Chains A and B, each alone.
Chain A
Amino acid sequence: MTDSLLRWYPEPYRSERGPEILGVLMDAGGPTPRERWALMLGGLRMRAGAHGNPWRPALRTAALMLLVLKILNEVDTLVAFRTGPDAAMIARIVLSLIGIVALTHNGFLAAAAAAVAMIAVDGGDLHLTRLYSPWLVLLLVVPLIGRGPVSVPRSLHYLVGWALLPAGITIAGSALTDNGWPNAAERTWWVLFAVAALWAVVDERLVLTVGLVLLYEVVFRIPFAVELARQGEFARGWVLWIGLGLVVPVLGVTTGGVLTRRRVRT
């Protein structure tokens, strides 16, 4: 019985607290469906290490994902145009690598400096509407400066690996848009978002991170929608494209934010 009811908890916790929890369950009249659900959630949250404020790990992981995507984007450019790398491209790749190393070692000031240097390499152009632009990295890293190291759970480490998937699809050339419908790369983000949204029942950090990474979509698609409306070209396909683009970052950050607010309270 211990195995079936408490299987979601890590083994050391099961050994230490299992008999006590089962004793309480028996006193309460046995495991009801509600009790089973609460035990499953409690165990999964414990395994995920879902405690404390999730904003800092989410900010760090989102910045890390953007830098990984930035390097992949540079590689994509190299593959697509079959040209040798220019000095600016090499500088962006090196600065992204410096940013990644800095972030993984909690060097947030150095990571911010790398992002500023990347903006400088682009002649001060923020490229506001691009996923791979350093302005968002800077925005995400600045709140982490001077506040000590950030502990990142394993579930968020997987996210960085996931970043390779849509970028890989883009590089493979299968990400052509067709009338505003989500392309293959966008669909992988949707799958990730769906997984993250479901996982938010247990741990809100995943959905928060995905929302933060895609914040650029808000900067990108809203002015685009306004311009289309101004020109009277706001067709249904565009509405879908703009709506889908906004749903992920807005829902991600608000869902994560609301759950955070609920859970960090004692």
Chain B
Amino acid sequence: MTSRMREPTYFILAALQDEPLHGYAIMTRAAELSQGRVKLATGTLYSALDRLTGEGLVASVREEVVNGRARRYYALTPGGRAALQVEADAMAAAARVVTDRATRTRPAEGIA
């Protein structure tokens, strides 16, 4: 069995699939997409971004200063998009193992 992506990493990459985002926007988008399960602390987010940048899955694309605060925007690289897709496919396949069976099983066959 191949090593699976960790949930925070998955939702950080998922947060970036539509457009480049700055750090705080990544945190809020990841929380929203994960329905509140992934609440990243700033230190955790930047450790993950540094690692993902090093692995070539994410890249910094631009910087700006808004209300006196420095902001750097991050985007998915083609490699990051591909890794996200692979993970999503794997999770979908794993989910089908259960959902397909549930669809096929008639209520009379259940225990309750």
Report A's interface with B, CB cutoff 8 A: 17, 19-28, 34-35, 37-43, 45-46, 51, 262, 264-266
Is B76 part of the contact surface with A, judged by Cβ < 8 Å?
Answer: no
Which residue from A23, A34, A264 sits with its C-beta under 8 Å from B23? A23
- The interface centre, meaning the residue of A17, A24, A40, A46 with most chain B CB atoms within 10 A of its CB, is A24
Tell whether A266 pairs with B24 under 8 Å between CB atoms, given A35-B43, A42-B44. Answer: no
Chain B residue total in the interface (Cβ 8 A): 27
**Interface bits B13-49 vs A (CB < 8 Å: 1, else 0):** 0000000001110010000000000000111111100
In chain A, what residue has the closest Cβ to B45? A24
Chain A positions within 8 Å of B105 at CB level: none
Is B5 part of the contact surface with A, judged by Cβ < 8 Å?
Answer: yes
A39 contacts B42, C-beta separation under 8 Å = yes
Tell whether A266 pairs with B71 under 8 Å between CB atoms, given A35-B43, A45-B47. Answer: no
Tell whether A20 pairs with B23 under 8 Å between CB atoms, given A51-B51, A266-B6, A266-B55. Answer: yes
Which residue from A22, A24, A37, A45 sits with its C-beta under 8 Å from B27? A24
Chain A positions within 8 Å of B23 at CB level: 20-21, 23-24, 27
Is B75 part of the contact surface with A, judged by Cβ < 8 Å?
Answer: no
